[in-house]
Amino acid sequence: MKIVFKISALWVLLMFLSSAKTLPTYTKTDLMGAFNPESHDGFTAVSSRYSNQTIYMRKEAHEAFIKMAKAAAKDGISLTVVSGTRNKDRQVEIWSNKWERFKGDDVEKAEEILLYSSMPGTSRHHWGTDIDINSVEPEFFEQGAGAKTYEWLDANAHKFGYFQPYIKKGSERKKGYREEKWHWSYYPTANQLLKAYQRMVTYQDITGFPGAEYAQELNIFDRFVQGIPDLNEEYNGFFQVSKNP
Ligand SMILES: [Zn+2]
């Protein structure tokens, strides 16, 4: 009797530990960028070979990026990270600068900022899974080295777990930011973070910058946080293949 109890208690403990390992838990702080990535255990600085700035990413996203950058280099494509984790404070700076500069009433200003920039607390750049590669100018990707880089990423990024959340709007993506050929996201972690975000973050959490009070009226969660293509099946498939290439 005693032995049975011990075994089952051990089994429960093991199950608990293994589920804790496979199901990461994220806090609202993680989801909304209210932390300093420098001192966050899950983050690491991007290798200086791939960025000339100090940029942080989640460790697993960084590891996958390095594999992708090495594969790209073999094909003559150079990948560098020009932006990675931006915490809420940084996003408040970006938002507030544009808010000061842009014209129109409050809602018009917010809509103009939202063509390319997120409301603080709603950016995928808070998550440590999303990076901007090589440039954030749309023109850069239209010809020459930029066009070749995009072509390579479009064909290969999925093998390393990366996808482009802000593809051209159309049947696969109906709403949200303008197309961003530079913005790539590490799906395995980002998808978990998105699910946690949908469960945990409410409009009451969106505060601390000019125009925050319009978040609900502007339908920010539905239009922008969810404004990415639905890739579940496709990407789960890729990961099974790409995990052991
Ligand atoms: Zn970006």
Give distance in angstroms: CA of 27 to centre of ligand 1: 22
Q: What is residue 245's predicted lDDT score, i.e. its pLDDT?
A: 37
As a whole number of angstroms, the distance between CA 121 and CA 155 comes to 31
Q: Rounded CA gap, 154 and 199, in Å?
A: 30
> What is the Å distance from ligand 1's center to 131 Cα?
6
Separation of alpha carbons 191 and 204, rounded Å: 23
Tell me if 69 sits within 8 A of 171, measured CB to CB. Answer: no
Question: Ligand 1 centre from 103 Cα, in Å?
Answer: 24
- For residues 172 and 189, what is the distance between their CA atoms, to the nearest angstrom? 21
Q: Give DSSP secondary structure letters for the chain.
A: -HHHHHHHHHHHHHHHHHHHHHS----HHHHHT-S-GGG-TTEEEPPTTS-SS--EEEHHHHHHHHHHHHHHHHTT----EEE----HHHHHHHHHHHHHH--SSHHHHHHHHTTT-PPTT--GGGTTSEEEES-S-GGGGGSHHHHHHHHHHHHHGGGGTEE-SSPPSSSS--SSSPP-TTEEEEHHHHHHHHHHHHHH--GGG--SSTTGGGTTTTTHIIIIIS-S---HHHHHHHHHHHH--
In the reported structure, the alpha carbon of residue 1 is separated from the centroid of ligand 1 by a whole-number distance in angstroms of: 58
Predicted confidence at residue 165, as pLDDT, reads 95
Sorted by where each begins, the domain ranges of the chain are 24-243
One pLDDT digit (tens) per residue for the chain, 245 residues = 455 555 566 666 666 665 555 567 899 999 999 999 999 999 999 999 999 999 999 999 999 999 999 999 999 999 999 999 999 999 999 999 999 999 999 999 999 999 999 999 999 999 999 999 999 999 999 999 999 999 999 999 999 999 999 999 998 899 999 999 999 999 999 999 999 999 999 999 999 999 999 999 999 999 999 999 987 655 555 554 444 33
Per-residue pLDDT at 244: 37
C-alpha 11 to ligand 1 mean position (Å):
44
pLDDT at 42: 96
Q: What is the pLDDT of residue 172?
A: 87
Phi-psi region of 194 (alpha: psi -120 to 50; beta: other; left: phi over 0): alpha
Measure the CA–CA gap between 41 and 26, rounded to whole angstroms: 13
The b/e string for 71-94 (b: 16+ C-beta within 10 A; e otherwise) is bbeeeebebbbebbbbbbebbbeb
Task: Give distance in angstroms: CA of 87 to centre of ligand 1.
Answer: 13
Task: Please choose, from the candidates 117, 131, 120, the residue with its C-alpha nearest in 3D space to the C-alpha of residue 44.
Answer: 131
How far, in Å, is the centroid of ligand 1 from the Cα of 216? 23
Return d(Cα 199, Cα 56) in angstroms, integer. 25
- Measured in Å, residue 67 CA sits from the centre of ligand 1 at 20
Residue 16, pLDDT score: 61
Which tokens belong to 169? 């709007």
Give me ligand 1 centre to Cα 26, in Å: 21
Q: Given this structure, which CATH class describes domain 24-243?
A: alpha beta
Q: Which two tokens stand for residue 54?
A: 């100090």
Look at residue 57 in the predicted model and tell me its pLDDT: 98
